Amino acid sequence: MRNIINLNQNWRFKQEDAGLPQTLPSDWAEVNLPHTWNAVDGHDGNGSYDRGKYWYAKSFDTPRQPLAGGRVYVEVLAAGQQATVYVNGSEVTYHEGGYSVFRADITDLCKDEGENLLVIACGNENKSSVYPQSADFTFYGGLYRGVNLISVPEVHFDLDYYGGPGVMVTPKQCDCGGASFELEAFVKNPDENFTVMYAVKDAEGQEVAGAVRPADNTKVTVYVPDAKKWEIDDPYLYTVTATLQRRNEAYDEVNIKAGVRSFSCDPDKGFIINGKEIPLRGVSRHQDQMYKGNALSREDHYDDARIIKELGANTIRLAHYQHSQDFYDACDELGFVVWAEIPFISVMNPDPDAHQNCISQMKELIIQNYNHPSICFWGISNEILIGGISEKLVENHKELQTLCKELDPTRLTTIAHVSMTPVDSPVHHITDVESYNHYFGWYGGKMEDNGPWMDNFHKVHPDICLGLSEYGCEGIITYHGPNPACKDYSEEYQALYHEHLAKMLDERPWIWSSHVWNMFDFGCAARDEGGVAGRNNKGLVTMDRKTKKDSYYIYQAYWSKKPMVHLCGRRYAQRAGDTTQIRVYSNQPQVALYMDGNLVEEKTGEKVFVFDVALKDGFNSIVAVAGDVKDVMTIEKVEKEPEIYVLPEVNERAEGVANWFKLAGDLDLKAPMDFPEGKYSIKNTIEELAASPEALEIAASAFKLAMNMKLAPGEGMWDMMKSMTLEKMGEMAGSMMPDGFIESINAQLIKIDKV
């Protein structure tokens, strides 16, 4: 029988390109897996992180296989971003792509007696053939999901095909109330003596269907009467066991969890599962945690899933790469509808090898995860038009779409468009359903723009199922104030933003899915904004999972069926003034507010309840009561609020915009813009402007004012933004920038001769 041996303990690691050792090094650091060398610098705010090729080594004994001809495989659960595996000094395999399982047969390199040396050279340095090329998150390096040995008899379920399990299970509902289970196993080296025995067991372990097939022709369909469906609120799982049998002896066995469900999307009805219209409302998730990076345990993954379940979400977009099998398992068990995708993101590399890497990563994603009932959507790219559009880009997308349908005709495909993607773009109508990443109210425009934009697209393309794949804004729990505003990074503005978006989505059930960006703050070493460098702080929960921001609870009020009430502003603990506003979120129809034991007011409302209260000197105890649930906080009345509540940059940025206009001199900001020959303008890309230090300085200053982010060659968001023009950035910023801002930039650029 199959024997899986965990190799996660007692590795040796060298954080330099030390070369292939011939014996187990005694002077390398001792580490256990999962491990990443970017656990700290991937998000500690130092502006960069270590990207290199580093070495892991471990000794192991050859597993004993009682039958002649047995095989031994090494299984790497993920290696960021590319890896070469060696056994006893010989190269075994090379793998590109940092998020998927890969295996290699090492039988012939293992010693009959004594210890073997396993060495893995792992690198997260940039390589033109490997996606992601450039993105707004840290590319952690390391063996961050662990390594196994798998010992199997000579005849076994396939371990070689793109890291898959060797068994495919496709449950389908029948009109009569039962379900058919299409079963197929892939057996290596079978002969006429071998059969595959299938057993379908219910959640209580009782066998409800079965079949036996020859090992060289294993495909069969079995019928399960009165099959229980996999529902979002009741994710019922069957277990399918495939046993490779030789006469009276079991040689190999694979167990698969499976769920019976049907689903579809309709442009006017949204998402439909098992015949019921249920809008998908949830979050996106990155896989890293503070000072662990992406080296998470199974329990870490399940804890994340439980926090999301507590929110009341019913869907998760697993961005922007293949996630751990542990997390997909958690989604199967907890009832999330999952969007799973590959890291084809931001910028398409024209290198043909890069496209082949896309194809390889898509094959791995689908083949390794085909059996998970939670997954309903395969995502083929994210914000890819940041790097511009070309015929080749469109062609590559169509090829990925065809590949998805060939590998898995049972699921839908989707795409996440960058906000600036035109309504009439050729990237529409490629995938089955589509979504947009919009940040109106943060990077551009006003939060109120979101609903009308979605309505207009729906009107122009009534045949397209439209979703909102990303939306959000930074929320840093240090910053507070009575008058929250865009770009102040306050917890209060983030909460107001999500109040509006949650209501907008609730009013539009035809939007097939929505995914908050992001569930958790996550590592992005290149970022430096809002006083918290090295991270994207748009999470509803902090990166250490310790603090749920106020914005978390507005979604709980909308989505959770469990009675809840939440007092906002508990970290806005010291307040000046005789009165203050208290906001309460609840999914109950009435909320009563008490101050120091006295009833202030009782209100009837929908999700958001706002009270104006008078403060007494010193501490004030506040209680919100909604039915059988209550929440309590204490705030202090002070003469002056702490300076730490306001990011100094907020005022500096406002002054910066004013000073910018002074630089424009007597320019008529309403006049048509000129684009003289041989001069720079807003129509040049950032990379073109970088040829002139003077032009780049103007562009960088404008970018800082518009986006509050640094722009410098080789730093920050450079790789993502270098192919954009200032004209396009101005369109993104929209009403956030005052009239004449883009004109004033152009007026300065056209004074500079092109280099």
**Model pLDDT, residue 735:** 62
Buried (b) or exposed (e) across 84-102, using 16+ Cβ within 10 A? bbbbeeeebbebbbbbbbb
Residue 663 has pLDDT above 70, yes or no: no
Residue 327 has pLDDT above 80, yes or no: yes
Amino acid at position 1, single letter: M
Residue 395 has pLDDT above 80, yes or no: yes
Q: How far apart are CA 493 and CA 645, in angstroms?
A: 13
List, for residues 460-519, the tens digit of each pLDDT value.
999 999 999 999 999 999 999 999 999 999 999 999 999 999 999 999 999 999 999 999
Backbone phi, then psi, for 533, in 5-degree steps? -85, 160
CB 587 within 8 A of CB 564: yes
**Model pLDDT, residue 432:** 98
Which residues, in sequence order, are bridge partners of residue 87? 90, 118
CB 262 within 8 A of CB 274: yes
Top-confidence residue, 48 or 167: 167
CB 408 within 8 A of CB 402: no
Q: How confident is the model at residue 655 (pLDDT cuts 50, 70, 90)?
A: low
Residue 653 has pLDDT above 80, yes or no: no
Residue 397 has pLDDT above 90, yes or no: yes
DSSP state of 444: B
**Model pLDDT, residue 526:** 85
Q: How far apart are CA 671 and CA 653, in angstroms?
A: 26
**Model pLDDT, residue 634:** 98
Which residues, in sequence order, are bridge partners of residue 266? 270
Give the distance, in angstroms, between the CA of residue 165 and the centroid of all CA atoms in the same chain: 24
Average pLDDT of span 8-12: 98
**Model pLDDT, residue 715:** 67
Do the bridges between strand 315-318 and strand 280-285 make them parallel or antiparallel, or are there none, so unpaired?
parallel
Q: How far apart are CA 58 and CA 230, in angstroms?
A: 42
Residue 733 has pLDDT above 70, yes or no: no
Q: Which of 272-281, 343-352, 502-511 has the lowest mean pLDDT?
A: 343-352
Give the distance, in angstroms, between the CA of residue 420 and the centroid of all CA atoms in the same chain: 20
Average pLDDT of span 386-404: 95
Average pLDDT of span 662-667: 60
How wide is the angle at C-alpha 70 spanned by C-alphas 67 and 75, nearest 5°? Answer: 140
Residue with tokens 């299970």: 169
Q: How far apart are CA 32 and CA 397, in angstroms?
A: 39
Q: How confident is the model at residue 398 (pLDDT cuts 50, 70, 90)?
A: very high
**Model pLDDT, residue 669:** 57
CB 35 within 8 A of CB 142: yes
Q: How far apart are CA 602 and CA 242, in angstroms?
A: 60
Q: How confident is the model at residue 175 (pLDDT cuts 50, 70, 90)?
A: confident
The pTM of this model reads 0.94
How wide is the angle at C-alpha 666 spanned by C-alphas 660 and 670, nearest 5°? Answer: 85
Quote the mean pLDDT of the chain. 94
DSSP state of 490: B
Q: How confident is the model at residue 336 (pLDDT cuts 50, 70, 90)?
A: very high
SS3 content of the chain, % helix, strand, coil (to 5): 20, 35, 45
**Model pLDDT, residue 342:** 98
Do the bridges between strand 522-529 and strand 466-470 make them parallel or antiparallel, or are there none, so unpaired?
unpaired
**Model pLDDT, residue 668:** 58
Average pLDDT of span 127-143: 95
List, for residues 224-239, the tens digit of each pLDDT value.
999 999 999 999 999 9
Enumerate residues 6+ apart whose C-beta is below 8 A from 248: none
List, for residues 578-612, the tens digit of each pLDDT value.
999 999 999 999 999 999 999 999 999 999 999 99
Rounded-to-10 torsion of CA 498, 504, 510, 511:
-40
**Model pLDDT, residue 737:** 66
Q: How far apart are CA 447 and CA 611, in angstroms?
A: 23
Residue 458 has pLDDT above 60, yes or no: yes
List, for residues 246-255, the tens digit of each pLDDT value.
999 999 999 9
Residue 109 has pLDDT above 70, yes or no: yes
Residue 666 has pLDDT above 80, yes or no: no
Tokens, residue 21: 């050792």
Which residue, 560, 620, 567, is CA-closest to 592? 567
Residue with tokens 């460098």: 533
Q: Which of 651-655, 687-691, 730-734 has the highest mean pLDDT?
A: 687-691
Residue 99 has pLDDT above 90, yes or no: yes
Instruction: Report the percent of the chain where pLDDT is more than 90.
Output: 84
**Model pLDDT, residue 374:** 98
Q: How far apart are CA 294 and CA 304, in angstroms?
A: 13
List, for residues 682-720, the tens digit of each pLDDT value.
999 888 999 999 999 888 888 777 766 777 787 666 777
